[in-house]
Amino acid sequence: MCGIAGVWNFRKKPVDRTRLRRMTDSLSHRGPDAEGFHFDDRLGIGLGHRRLSIIDLTEQANQPMCDAAGELWIVFNGEIYNYVELREELGAKGQVFRTQSDTEVILAAYREHGMDFLGRLRGMFAMALFDTRRPRLILARDRIGKKPLYFARSGDAFLFASEPKAILASGLIGRSPDFEGLAQYLTLGFAAPPRTGFREIRKLPPAGVMTIEANGESGVHTYWSLNFHEKEPHTTDEWEEIVRHEIREAVRLRLRSDVPLGVFLSGGIDSSAVAALAADQTNRLRTFTVGFRETEWDERRYARIVAERLGTDHHELVVEPKPLEILPAVLNHYEDPIADASVIPTLYVAKIARPEVTVVLNGDGGDEIFGGYRGYQVFHAAQWLRRVPGSALLGHLAPLVPDAPRGSLPSRVKRVLELAGDAHRMTLERYSAGTMQPEDAAALLGPAWPDSTLQPAWEILEAAADASRPLRGVDRLLHQNLTVGLPGGLMVKMDRASMAHSLEARSPLLDHVLVERLARMPHNLKLHGLTTKYVLKRALRGLVPDVILRRSKMGFGVPLGAWFRGELRPLLERRLGEGRLIAGGVLARAPVCGLIREHVEGRADHWPKLWTLLFLELWWRTWVEQERIETLMDQAPAPHRGIEATNPSGNP
């Protein structure tokens, strides 16, 4: 797990050493153990690397790494979990190895198989491989999009890095906001590839390969896609056995580590399954949980049940509403903005894990591959109602149901009626990432926001809905979540939060072999009636306590609704209600202040929209205007050690 950066000057001008070092210095949190550089002034290339040592801790495994012939160079972020098997296979074909690292296996796979090498890798990765023989630069990301990769052009220079902050640190790229990317943020909760929050910076999509030639020409294609159409005709009992086997294998591969390892344990089904199968294959396991004083958001007691059953070394932390402690870390590490407020507890659980371990496994992806979200039940109920004659009229009943907190029974009934009455919304409502519909966002924008940005943002979901239309049942939602919501939201959240603390996070349930196999499972074995994760729950009987398998779904969220009426109210009113975006006409004063007033007075529950807008305000002032975070926090004292990060503005 590492941070990578590089510059290629197409006119073969030597790369500025100081510039590249500034880029890698900004990624020091991703790789505190070692740094390295490779410069080839003859070809105008410079590669930089910050290392977090996980596999083969020797100096010989440091990067940038070249092959034995000195013709191929690589900087790589991630882990190749099947590197042991690939090493044996490639060694039998004559490839020679000088280290025990997975990085060298990638070089050998490319030399042996050319551009087909990516299909042989089982893991998470973002890499830049420079082939001096052409010369050609190859950028690639893993299939699911766990590891990030950004790029930009400045004249005859091409730049890439693990995070936008490194590209900005080069001094070659401007900070102008990309309003279309920010429109995607408002409606989806993130800027979808290739967009970011910055006009001049782009990101490679999941399963993306970008080739850049010496004359500056480039092209992007994807090397993998998920097939939900072909199903395997197994019995339910057979699928239970397949699920147990595939998850166990995915966990086994992710236990390969030369440093201490643990598990994020939320008390839900997914992380409990990973913890149970990890504890079964390794010595005394460390587990980590965060919770809240607000009982309706707190899962600690369920995590304790699992930890006691497995006999793990268990660690807990209660998260309090302390914006001066956590918001600087959020702003520092999410410069490609994301509206998911669960970044807050994720940063905290990474904080408590890092003193104990360097690698953690988690349960990410279980909802997306097994059908675990409450919204899937809503979708299924709406599909059933649409079979009733006159169902289109049901949408007119929805306004009669009073507004209620999200996730409550009245809220779900209201959504079922809305979706049943509007087939188009059935395909789109679920995957808006919990922020707002285009018409809601449009009502909040001021005159300084460019026209015609919201519809292109929504068209991303339109395209995903069209691609999934031939699929049956919950497979439609799973396909769209795996291709849009998961890589844009959950993967970004986990990568930044874990790497902020120099912690490697591994997601066994998003192993691409497991994901491919489950795509071939019939949809009614994932959502069976209104029972979510049907086969998974059956497969885990005897491995996970029954109380965990029976409990209702609880999302990994934050009680921001209560916090915005309490400890965070001054921050909300001062920084958003009197903020720079309203003053500059980017946001409209009356509707935004109306949302704040209705929420703090308890007349409505607007916290998802308010968090989205507040973070946009703070992000803009930090990353576009380069205002010091300490100023935004009213000259607050520095955050606690462990979530503190370097100042992104670069100001003294």
Active-site residues, by number, are 2
Give the long-range contacts of residues 410-417, CB within 8 A, separation 24 or more.
412/374, 412/377, 412/378, 415/375, 415/378, 415/382, 416/378, 416/381, 416/382, 416/385
Tokens 């198989």 belong to which residue?
113
Q: Is 415 left (phi over 0), alpha (psi -120 to 50) or beta?
A: alpha
Note whether 77 and 162 are within 8 A (CB).
yes
Indicate the DSSP class of residue 171: S
Q: Which H helix or E strand runs over 360?
A: strand 359-361
**Per-residue DSSP letters for 593-615?**
HHHHHHHHTTS---HHHHHHHHH
**Distance in angstroms (rounded) separating the CA atoms of residues 427 and 463:** 10
List the structure tokens of 403.
């507004």
Q: How far is it, in rounded angstroms, from Cα 93 to Cα 227?
A: 32
CA distance 650 to 187: 30
Identify the DSSP state of 114. Answer: G
- Strand ranges (DSSP E) for 57-148? 65-66, 72-80, 123-131, 136-141
Residue entry with tokens 């192993």: 511
Question: Which residue, 652, 569, 647, 642, is CA-closest to 325?
Answer: 642
Residues 418/395, Cβ–Cβ less than 8 Å = yes
- Chain centroid to Cα 156, Å, comes to 31
Name the one residue in this structure whose structure tokens are 């990030």: 148
* Residue whose structure tokens are 């598990």: 263
Give the H or E element holding residue 268. Answer: none
Please report, as a single letter, which amino acid is at residue 509.
L
Distance between CA 542 and CA 286 in Å, rounded?
A: 21
User: What's the half-sphere exposure (Cβ side, CA atoms, 13 Å) at 204?
Assistant: 36
Task: At 179, list the tokens.
Answer: 């309003």
Tell me 577's DSSP state: I
Report residue 8 as tokens. 């290629």
CA distance 18 to 29: 19
CB contact at 8 A, 46 and 27: no
Across-strand partners of 153?
158
Measured CA to CA, the distance from residue 339 to residue 616 in angstroms comes to 9
Pairing of strands 65-66, 2-9: unpaired
CA distance 228 to 223: 17
Please report where in the chains the tokens 């990410």 appear, as a residue.
364
Instruction: Tally DSSP H helices, then E strands, for the chain.
Output: 27, 17
Rounded (10°) angle between helices 343-353 and 491-499: 40
Q: In sequence order, what E strands does 214-267 have?
A: 218-222, 261-264
CA 27-28-32 angle, 5° bins: 140
Q: How far is it, in rounded angstroms, from Cα 633 to Cα 225?
A: 44
- Residue 50: both structure tokens together: 């910050």
